[in-house]
Structure 1
Amino acid sequence: MSARLRALPGHWFEILIGTIFWCLLWGGFAPSDVLGGAAAAALVVLLFPLPRVARELTLRPWPLAVLIARFLADMVVSALQVAWYALRPAGAPASSVIAVRLRSRSDLFLTATGMLCTLIPGSVVVEAQRSTGTLFLHAFGAATPEAAEEARRRTLEQEERVLRALARREELEEAGLA
């Protein structure tokens, strides 16, 4: 525990964020709220340490901008498609669950890719297998083999954008993207 106490100043950002949330929950920034929030946040950091992810990340501004822009564009297009499916006179669209094996073995990038895919209307991750790096997605309009392959391709492109924006050079090389 003493090593964790010595490392506490290195977690100042987490403690600051925790203090702000604490004060927002209590509805004020009175000195007692700030001190109580800082104590609660420090206790959480001490009792539930998170792994450091900074070693896994390399932020690249241009690929990050491309990732964000493409994600927003995908959201708009998918939302329009889902709206069309909801309003059209035909029945429910054909859909299926597809398996997509990702290139990266990192839990961080598996999670990030899965979250981005789920946030796009018309697809949702129903399972993620950490051991194989596989996402199982329920996708609208993926009833034919060609449509399922297109959904897989879009998911792998999403993973590639995530990796190019955030992964270290070694991770890119392991994924075959360097």
Structure 2
Amino acid sequence: MNREPVGPHRGRAGRWRDQLIALGWLVLVWNLLWGDFSWGNLVGGVLVAGAVLLFFPLPPVSFGGRLRPRALLVFLVRFVGELVSASAHVARIAVQPGCRPRGAIIAVRLRVRTDLNLALTAEAVSLVPGTLIIEVDRDAGVLYVHVLDVRGPQDLTASRERILAVERRVVRAVGSAAEVRQVDTDPVDRGVLP
């Protein structure tokens, strides 16, 4: 995520807004964990979220991007499509007699190295069956990903391109204009490590 110093342009109102957003998310997660939206869970969530934010303050982080509904919809539709396709592929491997799939670990250098992009891309990649994030090198912007059912170098290249396509869709959905230009103009080859 883009970290910007707290200054006169950000002010106290911006910090309070960020804290209220964090409080809201924590209360929502609390209620989802309990599985029941009741007044007791709401009050309990506010108390727990307030304590978390008081005793474990978050660093000042602001969102430097822009939410684009159309690109977000494209991301979600493609994500669901990949989820269904990968689930069917992994299920086929699981029930195929005598199948011994080979896995590989690949390193993929992302083009946009913000914390938000790293986190969202890593989560989207990890949620798809057959891929798992092994490690994230935050400073270099590199994801180390375990991929399933690798038959040759072309599968490794296809996996890298798929991960970079996920990054492109994430950035187009929530990135800044400069980040969108960066993923649209940078060649894919620069995102691949040997």
Range of TM-score over shorter length: 0.7 to 0.9
Aligned to 1:12: 20
Q: Is the 8 A contact 2:65 2:177 kept in 1?
A: no
TM-score by length of 2: 0.75
Q: Distance in 2 between matches of 1:108 and 1:137?
A: 18
Q: Distance in 1 between matches of 2:171 and 2:25?
A: 27
Task: Identify if the C-alpha distance between structure 1 residues 176 and 41 changes in structure 2 by more than 3 Å, giving closer, same or farther.
Answer: same
Say which SS state the counterpart of residue 165 (structure 2) adopts.
helix
Q: Distance in 2 between matches of 1:24 and 1:64?
A: 26
Q: Is the 8 A contact 1:95 1:142 kept in 2?
A: yes
Q: Distance in 2 between matches of 1:155 and 1:23?
A: 30
Task: Identify if the C-alpha distance between structure 1 residues 88 and 30 changes in structure 2 by more than 3 Å, giving closer, same or farther.
Answer: closer
From 26, 36, 39, the equivalent of 1:29 is: 39
Q: Distance in 1 between matches of 2:81 and 2:31?
A: 35
Query: 5+ residue gaps in structure 1?
Result: 1-5
Question: 1:120, CA displacement in angstroms?
Answer: 0.3
| 1:111-150 alignment, distance < 5 Å | 111-150=119-158
Query: What amino acid is the match of 1:42?
Result: G
Say which SS state the counterpart of residue 103 (structure 1) adopts.
coil
Question: 1:9, CA displacement in angstroms?
Answer: 4.9
| 1:1-178 alignment, distance < 5 Å | 9-10=16-17, 11-19=19-27, 21=30, 29-30=39-40, 34=43, 37-51=45-59, 53-177=61-185
Say which SS state the counterpart of residue 66 (structure 2) adopts.
coil
Structure with the greater alpha carbon radius of gyration: 1
Indicate the RMSD between aligned Cα atoms, in angstroms: 2.8
Say which SS state the counterpart of residue 49 (structure 1) adopts.
coil
Q: Distance in 2 between matches of 1:18 and 1:55?
A: 18
Aligned to 2:4: none
Question: For 1:85-144, what per-residue CA distance to the aligned partner results, in whole angstroms no more than 9, with x for missing partners?
Answer: 001112321221111111111111011111111100011011111111111111112241
Task: Identify if the C-alpha distance between structure 1 residues 51 and 60 changes in structure 2 by more than 3 Å, giving closer, same or farther.
Answer: farther
Aligned to 2:190: none
Task: Identify if the C-alpha distance between structure 1 residues 87 and 172 changes in structure 2 by more than 3 Å, giving closer, same or farther.
Answer: same
Q: Is the 8 A contact 1:59 1:165 kept in 2?
A: yes
Say which SS state the counterpart of residue 90 (structure 1) adopts.
coil
Say which SS state the counterpart of residue 93 (structure 1) adopts.
coil
Percent sequence identity is: 33
Task: Identify if the C-alpha distance between structure 1 residues 141 and 37 changes in structure 2 by more than 3 Å, giving closer, same or farther.
Answer: closer
Q: Distance in 2 between matches of 1:19 and 1:176?
A: 37
Q: Distance in 1 between matches of 2:96 and 2:31?
A: 47
Q: Distance in 2 between matches of 1:56 and 1:9?
A: 17
Aligned to 1:3: none
Question: 1:30, CA displacement in angstroms?
Answer: 4.8
Count of aligned pairs between the two proteins: 170
Q: Distance in 2 between matches of 1:166 and 1:23?
A: 24
Query: 5+ residue gaps in structure 2?
Result: 1-11, 187-194
